[in-house]
Amino acid sequence: MSRAASSNTLSPNFLEEEVTVRGSTFHLRELSIGDYDELVKKATQKTTNPVTGEEVETIDNGLLLKLMVLRCSFDPKLTPEALSNLPMRVVLKLNQTVNKMHYGDEPAEEKKAVEEGEPETKGED
């Protein structure tokens, strides 16, 4: 089940996905850019190179993904403890879905709606 807002207009609707794995259903909601930026900051660590003294910021992508899954979940609302007690394959499916929601292509039905609503443009020869 997927629901997406039309990109032709501003809308509070976010993409939602329903994931059923091993008989359990999880509902996930796309993050706002503000939520995403907040989680990136939480997953970012500053380290100092001992040789050069240069400070470098690195993002712990594993931590970022876990934080995203926790923030995206809404039915049931996952807690860190609940997430850590799920079987690995279930967590992998949730990770895949969250990755696809935020870094994948726009869902096919959304692409079609946008393409149908866009005026045809002609290139110059």
DSSP letter at 50? T
Top-level class of domain 2-107? alpha beta
Average pLDDT over residues 13-18: 92
Rounded Cα distance between 71 and 29, Å, is 8
Determine which of 5-9, 30-34, 74-78 has the lowest per-residue pLDDT on average: 5-9
pLDDT of residue 48: 92
pLDDT-based confidence at 111, cuts 50/70/90? low
CB 2 within 8 A of CB 113: no
Domain boundaries of the chain, sorted by first residue: 2-107
Please check the confidence at residue 24 and state whether its pLDDT lies above 60.
yes
CA distances from residue 53 to 58, 59, 120 in whole angstroms, order as listed: 15, 19, 55
Determine which of 7-11, 25-29, 68-72, 104-108 has the lowest per-residue pLDDT on average: 7-11
39-94 pLDDT, tens digit per residue, is 999 999 999 988 999 999 999 999 999 999 999 999 999 999 999 999 999 999 99
Q: Considering the chain, what is the average pLDDT of its residues?
A: 84
Can the peptide bond before residue 76 be classed as cis, meaning omega within 30 degrees of 0?
A: yes
pLDDT-based confidence at 105, cuts 50/70/90? confident
Rounded Cα distance between 72 and 87, Å, is 18
pLDDT of residue 5: 40
pLDDT of residue 13: 84
Secondary structure element (H or E) that encloses residue 55, with its range: strand 55-59
